[in-house]
Amino acid sequence: MFTLETGSGFWNPIIWIGVIFIALLIAYVIRGFGRRDYKRDTEQTKPFLSGNVEPDKELVHLRAKNLYWGFKETLKGYYEILRKIHNGMVSDYVLWFVIIMCILFIVMGVL
């Protein structure tokens, strides 16, 4: 009832949830072996930012445009091509339709 046969294997979400629960339980037990001299909300819990003072969390927010900067920078050439294609011109949209139709005509042996 719960098992989906996928051809080469199977998928059972109930078993998966059970496994995740056990994994979390093991993680919790391991956490119990942690240092006992840990003191919450003291100097030892503050992050070290190369000597800089940690700014107030309410004042820090990484904006969407800055996220995945490295990824976008690495793929700059690829994104330039995509930007040129997505130019918002409806005539170019139609052109892509015509191009695909021509390719299909050639592949299917019409042309």
Partner 1 sequence: MVDIIDVLLTHGPALIIAVPLFGAFLTPLISRLNDKARNIFVIAVMGLTEFIVLLLAYDIFTTNGVHTYTFGSKQPLLTLPSGYLVPVRIIFEIDGLSIFMGIIAVTLALVASIYSWSFMRKEDGLDKYYTLLLLLTTGMLGMVSTGDMFNFFVFLEITSIASAALVAFRVNKGESQEAAFKYIVLSSIGALFVLFAVAILYGQYDALNIATLANRIRYTFLDKVALVLLVASLGMKAGIVPMHMWLPDAYGEAPASVTIAIVAATQASLYALIRMCFTLYGGITSVATIGWILIILAMASIFIGVTMALLQSDFKRMIAYAAVAEIGYMVLGIGVGLALLFSRTPYSVKAIQGGIFHIINDALDVGLLFLVAGAVFYATKERLLDRLGGLARNMRYSTIFFIIGALAVAGMPPMNGFASKLLIYESTYQVSPILAVVAILASILLLAVMVKIFHSAFMGPPLVKAADVPKTMLIAMAILAALIIFFGLFPNIVVENMVKPAADALINQATYISQVLGGV
Confirm or reject binding of residue 4 to partner 1 (CB under 8 A): yes
User: Does 69 participate in binding partner 1 (rule CB under 8 A)?
Assistant: no
| Nearest approach, Cβ of residue 43 and partner 1 (Å) | 24
Query: Contact region for partner 1 (CB under 8 A) — 21-29, 35-43, 47-55, 85-93?
Result: 85-93
Question: Site size for partner 1, by CB under 8 A?
Answer: 50
Rule CB under 8 A: is residue 76 a binding residue for partner 1? no
Pick from 46, 72, 74, 80 the residue near partner 1 by CB under 8 A.
Answer: 72
Three-state secondary structure string covering the chain: CCCEECCCCEECHHHHHHHHHHHHHHHHHHHCCCCCCCCCCCHHHCCCECCECCCCHHHCCCCHHHCCHHHHHHCHHHHHHHHHHCCCCHHHHHHHHHHHHHHHHHHCCCC
